[in-house]
Structure 1
Amino acid sequence: MVRKCVMYFGPSQAPLLQVGFRGLVQTDVGFRAHLTTIQNYKDTCGASTWETMMTYADKLRRDNTRIAFFSSTPQGGGVALMRHALVRFARRIGVDLSWYGKHYSKARDMINHVLSLLLMNKIVPKPLPTALRITKNIHNILQGVSPPSQRITAEEKKAVIHWITENAYRYWLSESGPLRPAEEGGAHIIIIDDPQMPGLIPLIKRFTPDRPVVYRSHIQIRSDLIAKDSSAQADVWKFLWSNIQLADMYISHPIPAFVPHTVPRAKVAYMPATTDWLDGLNKPLRDWDVGYYGNMYNASCHAQKMTELHWPARKYIIQIARFDPSKGIPTAIDSYAEFRRQCKVADIEDTPQLVLCGNQSVDDPDASIVYDQTLDQIMSLCPELMKDISVMCLVPNDQLLNTLISKAHVVLQLSTSEGFEVKVSEALHAGRPVVATKTGGLPLQIKDSVNGFLVEPGDWRAVASHLMDLFTNNALYERMSHAARTGVSDEVGTVSNALCWFYLASKWRDIGTKESGKAVLQPHERWVYDMARDEANCPYSADEEQLPRCSIEDKKIN
């Protein structure tokens, strides 16, 4: 029993990540913990959403359809959070859906990983070799946040392909692996997440050319820079597109400008990022739990000699995001410094604190660099505020982040480049007004001056002005808080995410990939959610909250 406890739970009593045979990501303590019921999920969405989802779930169960997702990291980022929720939900309703990540190549790697968890009091898995640095550079280049001179060399491209190919042949193409033909136990439909894994697509198509493969892009891709032939973005995209073009469908966040011009529009479909209203990030917490996780945060701060939170004696502003060059952390600091200057002029003594925190993604080597840069900026720009700013790279703990968001007065998301940051929807769901930038998918979630404010990237003066309004105008704050809490769409929840993937799996299983040499399921830039509702003959009702659909003007690349 002691051995099992050590294997499944860390020193903080939080469940440890379980990655099993072939890199199969095993959610909820290796599928042993049953955290939810079907009724719990049904209560998180409208009747139309649930009925449509069940239409496709029933068909997948009847046909014994197997679905496999592949991504580079099983923990830490938004993609991992969505996949954990999707796997948990699919298992609950009986759909055969699996998720595979990078496999530990040697037994001693796993042993060292477990030892590091115990000795270092961390749940963050052991980092991957140099491939992670390369894929992170690719990520930064595509988002336009890398140094102008940075390029991906031919040797680095070969290293990434070698990493993917080695894992594929060793674990996923071997006997009974998920990439084997469906008649040999492999998946019927395969989804590849983000620019780390597209090297799998040619391998899949080589062995099973008629098996559907969907590529899912989760980041803001600077299509305007890709359109410039000599740019680093064009070079990286050419490398990626040589593999991605073999996929049968290209799914992007619902921003047309995120899709490079080389992608045929007939192949493109849109899908937002989602969150799970039942998991630790969003579920209601008792006062005792809030106190427990608040003390946990302050204990971590104390251990690192970082500023502790004084809530509820003092309110606080928060931005929760990875320590990443694209997350606008310098703007958050500049905004807070200006806000505090305005408070001083207005003779406001009860000033709030600022919290900048986030989990480190397993495949993100930039976190420690950006963390150090953040502390350097505070010490050089506003050292007198260091006692009021708490900067923490946290051990992954959903309830802790839930506590921090739900008790914040205002939430910031000041990214300079962003896909569809679901932390915004989580903050709105908790009734927190959000100040965010007009970048990526953020404007789709925030109704300007209704449930938050939208500003231009880097405009710290505007952010400071909105903070003054939200801290001095109680009527405005209460109105925005109510609008935030009551205006979140079903489309950003787990059930809707499952609806979209179940529809695609069901449809591709029915029609296959080839008909007269052409892929027959061509979305032509439609939202997958809309396609699924239409197919199920389930029209929208007048009272359903919907995310804004892009107009023709939005499709123009500036």
Structure 2
Amino acid sequence: MRVIDPRPLPPGVLAAFLDLLGPERAAEVRAAAVRIARGLDGGTLWHVNSTPRGGGVAEMLHVLVPLYRALGVPCRWAVVDGDERFFDTTKKLGNLAYGSTEPADRLGAGAADDYLAHLELEAAQLAGVLGPRDVLLLHDHQTAGLVPALSAKVAAVHWRCHVGVDTPTEGSAAAWAIMAPLLDRADGVVFSVAHHVPAELAGHRVAVVPPVIWPFAPKNEPLPDDATRVLLDRAGLGSGPVPGNVVADGPRDPDAPLAVQVSRWDRLKDMHGVLTAFAESVPDAHLALVGPDPAAIPDDVDQAHWFATCLDAWRALPLPTRERIRLVCLPMDDLDDNARLVNAVQRAADVVVQKSLAEGFGLTVAEAMWKSRAVVGSAVGGIAAQIDHGRTGLLLDDPHDLAGFADLVTAVTGGAVDGTALGDRAHEDVRRRYLPDGDVLATAGLLTWEIT
């Protein structure tokens, strides 16, 4: 177990955020922060997850913890550690919760017991820094096993689930058979998408709270033109030579439309399917598949495999097709640098795609919408909640439909759909629905259970 101490908000940023919200929303968020601090009554609001970097939860916490502190709420962040076996188990557990029925995702004999035994050790360490008035917000399947050990040591424990499946499967049932009993002592459970709440949790208090983005983060803030050019060169999308972290046959044609998917190298993100659809059915446009350095995310042990799958598929393409597609591995040693690279890549795109096979929420969609990009996404999980088809983006009904996906992308890159208008409406929708004041209001509700 490690306690993470993220950097505070820079001077002036809180005031800029409140200005962005406008007087009414600013007053509401300040009042909610006062309610949280009073409800804690000398305690601390703790967020607990499984990694300090990589993935949407960690990115959110690097914003939310400093924001709560700036608003006067005592707030801290802890990360559970684990070895390769622990993270292999939690990866499979997450895949099952997403509905996977792949044999490779089945938990082996003793895996669940080892998972619980490890979290008991993590809980013992965490208990040493907790107080009786503290409130815990535990994130995702990596932390579910902490609930039994910690519920009696603090004022309240809420478990927040950022994953889920639109239609329950044998795999998701197996995941909830393990996790649901662990949550019996939770004071509440929080989901990103209403229909992801499983029947196994029917007796629990449930809140639905979407994740949020931070407009002032390096990933979302406006970029000067000169900085953008440098960043795009480093990502292999500029006019310079192809850098070592990029797999490509020569420089990108700057006059060709550019489509980008930014996500982990993960089966459920279906980078391989995006590559196949472009190679077979999207003429003229260029594609960048952008993910982290596969070796840099310790809680996701499958990244190297899925990157290698994409690499093999890319190598098998004929040269003219291969020249239009590139694989970009972004460094993770400096999170701000990584975020600025993603920022530049998304802003350079004519269309941002997210062809997930399953999705909890999909923060990359909201981030691209904030940048006024046209977005094409699978109608799964939170992506379907974020995009109003034809108004703020385009939705693919069947995420396995490669031809249908290609048609939607081509509609934007070919000009049949006004991507600029989609992007403008998308930006305003994110400003209204997915900024962090919503999380503060929701947390105030959790403490008094005003959320239903």
- TM-score (normalizing by structure 2): 0.90
Task: Determine the structure 2 residue equivalent to 1:334.
Answer: 276
Q: 1:216 to 1:311 in 2, by over 3 A?
A: farther
Q: CA deviation at 1:221?
A: 3.5
1:404 matched to 2:372: no
In the aligned structure 1, how far is the partner of 2:84 from the partner of 2:138? 21
1:159 matched to 2:114: yes
In the aligned structure 2, how far is the partner of 1:35 from the partner of 1:322? 32
In the aligned structure 1, how far is the partner of 2:228 from the partner of 2:439? 29
Query: What secondary structure is seen at the aligned counterpart in 2 of 1:385?
Result: helix
In the aligned structure 1, how far is the partner of 2:359 from the partner of 2:138? 20
Task: Determine the structure 2 residue equivalent to 1:234.
Answer: 173
2:106 counterpart letter in structure 1: R
1:212 matched to 2:153: no
Task: Determine the structure 2 residue equivalent to 1:53.
Answer: 29
Task: Determine the structure 1 residue equivalent to 2:146.
Answer: 200
In the aligned structure 1, how far is the partner of 2:10 from the partner of 2:304? 35
Task: Determine the structure 2 residue equivalent to 1:368.
Answer: 304
In the aligned structure 1, how far is the partner of 2:118 from the partner of 2:408? 47
In the aligned structure 1, how far is the partner of 2:79 from the partner of 2:360? 21
In the aligned structure 2, how far is the partner of 1:43 from the partner of 1:522? 27
Q: 1:309 to 1:144 in 2, by over 3 A?
A: farther
* Worse-superposed segment, 473-482 or 386-395: 473-482
Task: Determine the structure 1 residue equivalent to 2:68.
Answer: 90
In the aligned structure 1, how far is the partner of 2:159 from the partner of 2:98? 18
1:192 counterpart letter in structure 2: L
Question: Whose relative contact order is higher, 1 or 2, with alpha carbons under 8 Å and at least 6 apart?
Answer: 1
Give runs of ≥4 in structure 1 deviating > 4 Å: none
Q: 1:284 to 1:173 in 2, by over 3 A?
A: same
Task: Determine the structure 2 residue equivalent to 1:246.
Answer: 185
1:25 matched to 2:4: yes
2:218 aligned residue (264, 268, 280): 280
Query: What secondary structure is seen at the aligned counterpart in 2 of 1:250?
Result: strand
> Contact 1:451–1:481 (CA<8 Å) still a contact in 2?
yes
Task: Determine the structure 1 residue equivalent to 2:389.
Answer: 448
1:471 counterpart letter in structure 2: T
In the aligned structure 2, how far is the partner of 1:331 from the partner of 1:61? 47
Aligned ranges 1:364-513 → 2 under 5 Å:
364-380=300-316, 384-396=320-332, 397-455=338-396, 456-473=398-415, 476-505=418-447, 507=448
Q: For residues 236-288 of structure 1, what are the alpha-carbon distances to aligned partners after superposition, in whole Å with 9 as ceiling and x for unaligned?
A: 321211111221111111232x1111212551110112111110111000001
In the aligned structure 2, how far is the partner of 1:233 from the partner of 1:311? 43
1:356 aligned residue (286, 289, 292): 289
Task: Determine the structure 1 residue equivalent to 2:132.
Answer: 181
1:135 matched to 2:90: yes
In the aligned structure 2, how far is the partner of 1:311 from the partner of 1:401? 19
2:102 aligned residue (135, 142, 147): 147
1:255 matched to 2:194: yes
> Contact 1:71–1:100 (CA<8 Å) still a contact in 2?
yes
Query: What secondary structure is seen at the aligned counterpart in 1 of 2:234?
Result: helix
Unaligned runs of 5+ in 1: 1-21, 104-126, 226-230, 344-350, 508-520, 527-558
In the aligned structure 2, how far is the partner of 1:287 from the partner of 1:297? 15
Larger radius of gyration: 1
1:39 aligned residue (15, 18, 39): 15
Query: What secondary structure is seen at the aligned counterpart in 1 of 2:75?
Result: strand
Q: 1:305 to 1:57 in 2, by over 3 A?
A: closer
> Contact 1:213–1:249 (CA<8 Å) still a contact in 2?
yes
2:137 counterpart letter in structure 1: I
In the aligned structure 2, how far is the partner of 1:305 from the partner of 1:334? 19
Q: 1:246 to 1:335 in 2, by over 3 A?
A: same
2:97 counterpart letter in structure 1: L
1:93 counterpart letter in structure 2: L
Query: What secondary structure is seen at the aligned counterpart in 1 of 2:418?
Result: helix
Query: What secondary structure is seen at the aligned counterpart in 1 of 2:217?
Result: coil
Please give the root-mean-square deviation of Cα atoms over the aligned residues, in Å: 2.4
Instruction: Give the length in aligned residue pairs.
Output: 437
Query: What secondary structure is seen at the aligned counterpart in 1 of 2:168?
Result: helix
2:79 aligned residue (95, 101, 107): 101
In the aligned structure 2, how far is the partner of 1:253 from the partner of 1:301? 39
Q: CA deviation at 1:172?
A: 1.5
Aligned ranges 1:300-339 → 2 under 5 Å:
301-304=242-245, 306-307=247-248, 310=252, 312-339=254-281
